């Protein structure tokens, strides 16, 4: 058994079913009605959080922090939906959660916040996050956070982490062709950017929520403002692609004929 200090980086993204429309503002691109869009915890960061909680539960003495960069008011709202899931301590960074911010700037803000967490033990440190966000979808932020924290053992698109018990980590990463690369790392510190992992979304636990929330509100009040933008980047356009196709609708065609047409098309 080893105790871990697990930092999970994750923030809000628009609830996946929302209609997204880009707009251009003086500060760069954004989403129409962005403040009104219901938000959820980024799905991959969510998997990372649940994996972290599970790891902490199985390794007594461990602790989980959730480091979130987003507008304070939206983070507060997000906490209502995730704080009942698993125990964690929130570190809030008050800044933009837009997908159009630069990962370099987001990584700087997050790693600065991590570095300031009191009592963090590097020999126990695992930095978790999603393998990409559902907003920026870059898949590069965690690596830069790791670099800034000086961590040279990094894993991307992780679906499984096991701890054989000697302090080492056995890690499965998604690679091409639906396969996993299997690696063994001597132990913390390491960066793990998660894909879906293997755990289901935990049920809402009101007791966990009640405990979490006591520290969450003060953490939100203490949220440090961070200027996170996209310096140096010029967007000439952001648009929803016009992909409307002329769909030929085939109704009332006998099954045999449809099958023949499909086979001809597949084998063409």
Partner 1 sequence: MENLERQSLEVDIACVGFGPAMGGFLTTLSKVADPSLLQSRVMPGMPLQIMCYERADDVGFGVSGIVTRGRGIRASFPELDLSSIPMAHPVKHEKLVYLLDPIGASRRSAALKLVDKLLPARHSAFEIPFIPAFLRKDEGMVLSIGQFTQWISSQVMATGMVQLWPGTPVQSALIEGNQVAGVRLCDQGVEKDGSPSAGYMPGMDVRAALTVVGDGPVGAVGQQLDQVFGMPEGHHKRDWAVGMKMVVDLPENTELEAGMVYHTLGFPEPEIFGFLYVHPNRGASFGIFVPSFLETPVRTSYRYLQHWMLHPYFWRHLKGAKLRSWGAKSLSESGKHGEPFLAGNGYARIGEGSGSTNVLSGSGVDEAWTTGAQLAEGVLDLLREGKPFTKETLHEAYVARRRKSWVEKEAAVAEKARDGFHQGFSCGLLGMGLTGLTKGLLNIPGVAKRPHEKFPSLEEHYGTKLSAAELEGIRKRAAAESIPLHDLLMNQAGWPEIPYDGTLLVSHQDALLMGGKVQAAPGYADHVVFTHPEICETCIEKTCISICSGQAIMPGEASGVPRFDREKCVHCGACLWNCSKPGRENPEFGNLEFRAGAGGLHSSEN
Partner 2 sequence: MEKILYLAHVESDGTLSKAALESLGAAVELSKKLSGSSLSVGLIGSQAEKAAGSIASCGATSFFAVSGPEFDCSRYSTDAAAIEALGRQTQATLMVAAGTSRFGRAVPGATFRLNGRIDSRITGFTVENNSFQIQRWFYRQRMMSTQTRAQRPWALLLDPGVFSPWAGQPGTTSVQSIAVNLPELRTRVLGTETATTGPQTIRPDAKLLFVTGAGWTKKQSDGQPHVKEAEDLIINFLEKTRASLGSTKSLVDQTGDGQQVISLLSHINQVGQTGSTPRHQKGLSTCCHGEEPHTVGWRFINERRAINLDANCGWAQGKADVLYVADAFQVLKKVNELL
Alpha-carbon dihedral sign for residues 217, 64, 98, 147: positive
**Which residue's CB is nearer to partner 2, number 118 or number 241?**
241
**Which residue's CB is nearer to partner 2, number 14 or number 95?**
14
Alpha-carbon dihedral sign for residues 200, 96, 22, 230: negative
Kindly state the tokens that stand for 57: 């539960």
Query: Where on the chain is the footprint of partner 1 (CB under 8 A)?
Result: 15, 17-19, 33, 35-38, 73, 76-77, 80-81, 84, 200-207, 209-210, 213, 217-218
The structure tokens 């007791």 sit at 207
Q: Please answer whether residues 53 and 205 qualify as being in contact, where contact means their C-beta atoms are separated by less than 8 angstroms.
A: no
Residue 177 binds which entry of partner 1, partner 2, none, CB below 5-8 Å type-dependent: partner 2
Judged by CB under 8 A, the number of residues near partner 2 is 88
* C-alpha dihedral (16, 236, 145, 214), degrees to nearest 10: -50
Is there binding between residue 143 and partner 2 (CB under 8 A)? yes
Minimum distance of partner 2 from residue 226's CB (angstroms):
18
Minimum distance of partner 2 from residue 213's CB (angstroms):
26
How far apart, in Å, do the first and last CA atoms of the chain sit? 58
**Which residue's CB is nearer to partner 2, number 69 or number 90?**
69
Among 172, 208, 216, 228, binds partner 2 (CB under 8 A): 172
**Which residue's CB is nearer to partner 2, number 44 or number 219?**
44
**Which residue's CB is nearer to partner 1, number 207 or number 234?**
207
159: part of which helix (H) or strand (E)?
A: strand 154-162
User: Residues with Cβ < 8 Å from 24, sequence gap 6 or more?
Assistant: 30, 235, 238
97 DSSP 8-state letter? -
**Which residue's CB is nearer to partner 2, number 62 or number 141?**
141
Site residues for partner 2, window 200-259 (CB under 8 A)? 200-201, 232-241, 243-253, 255-256, 258-259
Is there binding between residue 26 and partner 2 (CB under 8 A)? no
β 12-14/39-41 pair status? antiparallel
Minimum distance of partner 2 from residue 95's CB (angstroms):
18
* C-alpha dihedral (207, 125, 113, 54), degrees to nearest 10: -20
Residue 80 binds which entry of partner 2, partner 1, none, CB below 5-8 Å type-dependent: partner 1
Residue 51 binds which entry of partner 1, partner 2, none, CB below 5-8 Å type-dependent: none
CA atoms within 13 A on the CB side of 215: 14
Is there binding between residue 70 and partner 2 (CB under 8 A)? no
């Amino acid at each position: 058994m080893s105790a871990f200090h697990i930092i999970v980086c994750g923030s809000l993204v628009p609830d996946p079913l929302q209609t997204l429309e880009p707009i251009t503002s003086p500060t760069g691109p954004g989403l129409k009605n962005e403040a009104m869009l219901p938000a959820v915890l980024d799905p991959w960061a969510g998997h990372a959080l649940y994996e972290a909680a599970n790891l902490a539960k199985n390794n007594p003495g461990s602790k989980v922090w959730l480091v979130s960069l987003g507008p304070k008011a939206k983070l507060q709202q997000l906490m209502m939906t995730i704080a009942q899931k698993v125990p964690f301590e929130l570190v809030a960074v008050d800044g933009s959660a837009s997908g159009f911010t630069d990962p370099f700037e987001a990584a700087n803000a997050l790693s600065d916040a991590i570095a300031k967490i009191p009592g963090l033990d590097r020999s126990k440190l695992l930095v978790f996050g999603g393998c990409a966000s559902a907003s920026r979808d870059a898949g590069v932020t965690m690596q830069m956070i790791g670099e800034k924290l000086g961590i040279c053992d990094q894993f991307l698109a992780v679906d499984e982490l096991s701890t054989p018990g000697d302090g080492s980590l056995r890690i499965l990463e998604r690679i091409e062709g639906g396969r996993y690369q299997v690696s063994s790392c001597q132990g913390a510190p390491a960066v793990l950017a998660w894909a879906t992992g293997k755990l289901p979304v935990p049920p809402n636990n009101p007791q966990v929520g009640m405990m979490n929330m006591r520290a969450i509100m003060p953490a939100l009040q203490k949220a440090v403002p961070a200027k996170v933008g996209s310096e140096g980047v010029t967007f000439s356009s952001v648009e929803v692609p016009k992909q409307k196709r002329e769909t030929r609708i085939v109704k009332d065609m006998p099954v045999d004929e449809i099958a023949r047409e499909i086979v001809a098309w597949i084998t063409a």
